[in-house]
Structure formats: C-alpha cells, structure tokens
A and B are shown apart, each in its own frame.
Chain A
Amino acid sequence: MKKWVMSLLLMLTAPFALAGQVVDVMHPYARAVPAGQENSAIFMMLKNNSARPVSLIKAQSSVAETVELHTHMVHDGVMMMRQVPEIQIPGNGSVKLQPGGFHVMLIGLKQQLKEGEKIRVKLHFSNGSMSTVELPVKKVQMGMKHQH
C-alpha cells in the first residue's frame, strides 16, 4: 500500500522535477517600488538545457491583479513598451529578462514591493512545464560600464 502511494507521488511530481531541468531560472528579482505605485517588473535569466527552443508563455503572481509578458523596443530614440505572447529561449541557449528589454510585468499591485521582501511567481513554459520561483525584491541594479 505504501509503495503504491509512493509511486503515485513520484509519478505526479516527476514532471515538475523534469521541468526544473529543462529551463533554469537564474538571478530572478522584482523591482522595488515606492508606495502607491501600481506596477512593477520582474527580471531574470532563463537558461534552456534542452536542444529544442522553449518559450515562457505565461506568468502568474498573487502580488498583482494581472501579470503580462512585455518587451521594449527603441525606434528613432523613442522607447516603446509592448505586450508579447511569449519569450523564446533558444535550444541550449538563454534569454535575459532585464531593464530595457523583456520583462514580466506586474500590473495592479496589491501590495507595495519593498526592498528585502520576497515574492513568488509561477512561470509556465511552452513544453507544458511550470516552475514556481521565489524571488527577492530589489532596487534597480546599476551596471557599471567601466571599472574606474
């Protein structure tokens, strides 16, 4: 009887364990915002360990009314933000969700995202896998172009 339960549990959890291996979520963080701010964004690096391309197709979080996938484009110096249906990760490659580019957009925040806190986001991928990620809330990180 116990063996039967164990094997059932393994069967149910196996796909999740496998999913974790197909796409690695690295260095995720959400942007800290001032009080009263209605939206924010989540950034991360997605690494595809399989040879086939996989896409991030949906994200969910309880901290916001709506969670969407967005990107930024620059045309003649004009910054444009647009919703995208998916964010593709090439086979054996990676994609960066970072300021100025792809991001998971949190719209209609239900709580202020304060630095030091942690939030959770569910990521759904095109291969049917899903991963729940816990990520820190941080102020915008400034990359230095040169080290002086």
Chain B
Amino acid sequence: MDSFKKHFLKALVMLIPAVALVAGMEYYQKQQMEQGQTSAQIGGTFVLQSADGPFDLSQQGDKLNVIYFGYTQCPDICPTSLSVMAHAFKQLPEEAMSRLQGILISVDPERDTLEHLKNYTEFFHSNIVGLTDTPENIKALAARYGAFYRKAEIAGSAMGYAVDHTSIFYLTNSQGQVVETVSHSASPDDLLAALKRQLKL
C-alpha cells in the first residue's frame, strides 16, 4: 500500500507541470485573441488644431468622416488624393454634404501652418478641413489609424525633404471608428462607391 501511495504521489507531482502548461497556453491564447481584437479596431477620436480653432472629432455631430494623412508640399500624391475626395464629394447629392466631413491631417507638422492648411484644403473643397498638431501627437494618432509616414531627405533636391507616406482614406463615424478604408487611386470611383455605401445613398 505504501508503494501505491508513493507512486500515486509521484504521478500527481509529475502531472502538475503538464496541467500548468496547458492552462498557461490557454491563458496565452485568450490574451492573444483579446489583443488581436483591439489591434484590429483602428482609429479613434482626436482633438487637433485647425485655423479656426481646435477640432474635436467627437463634437462634429453624426457625420461620416473621410480622413487622409498627407501634407501640403506633397507635390503629387496628396493633391491627387484631395482631388479624388473633392470629385467624389461633388458627385453626391447636396443634402449628403451636411453628413460628410473631409479631413486632411498633416504629416509634415513642422512645415505646414494652420493658415496654409486651410487655404490648401479649401482650394479642393469647402467640406475639407486641414488639421495639424505637435509632431509627437500626430505620430501617435497616425499609429492609431495604422497610417505610416517618415521624413525622407532627397539628396541634391531643393525640396530639402519629402515625406514618404501611406495614401489611404479612412472612413470613420463620429466616434472615430474606422468603418471602411479606401486605398490610393487616381480615380474617385472607389471612394464614391464607399461613401454611397456608408451614407446609404
């Protein structure tokens, strides 16, 4: 009987690491899944500066926002994207304009002034607002949206530096939750289709 107890105890002790391992793995998996869910949810509200004062996304009423990260010295990609936005807006019925807000967030906060951002966005469409803030805040916000940018020195160019960046439209609700993204295109068709879908037109 003594030997049975001894073996039983031995087996029990040996079982502990196995149970701990399985429990640990399950816990790890559960954690991973939770993390996965939070990282999949990109976007969020923000308060940034505009030429007309602070712009609080959550205080804009129930609007569909079209957010684009770019900069005014961007010679080609950004004006193309803002034209795409403007052309898409112009093809929507007038009543839809009050439910829509275009937003350009500067990824060149060191060079883009509030005044010029306003000039720049209004040149394309009056429903687009230009926003900026400190470089740190913009960096953190871009990360929340999954937007990427970096300064790129252009050797021998009078530009000084350009900003490499992703070119994506983030369609969000008033809580800043991204409901749809539209990749870069030289045609307004994709964005227009997404806007119609989200505005239920």
Please give the residue numbers on chain A whose beta carbons come within 8 Å of chain B beta carbons, in ascending order: 31, 33-41, 65-66, 68, 70, 72, 74, 77-83, 99-100, 103, 105, 107-108, 139-140, 142-146
Contacts and interface: CB of A to CB of B under 8 A. Distances in A.
Contact of B76 (A37, A38, A83, A100): A100
Interface string B145-175: 0001000101111110010111110000000
B166 A39 contact: no
A78 B70 CA distance: 12
A83 B161 CA distance: 11
B16 to A, nearest CB: 47
The secondary-structure label for the interface of chain A is strand
A3 B164 CA distance: 59
Contacts, number: 105
B179 interface: no
Interface of B: 72-77, 79-80, 83-84, 87, 115-116, 119-120, 122-123, 148, 152, 154-159, 162, 164-168, 183-189
A81 B187 contact: no
B76 A142 contact: no
Given A34-B120, A36-B116, A78-B164, A68 B157 contact: yes
Contacts of A142: 83-84, 87, 186-188
A66 B75 CA distance: 14
A83 B164 contact: no
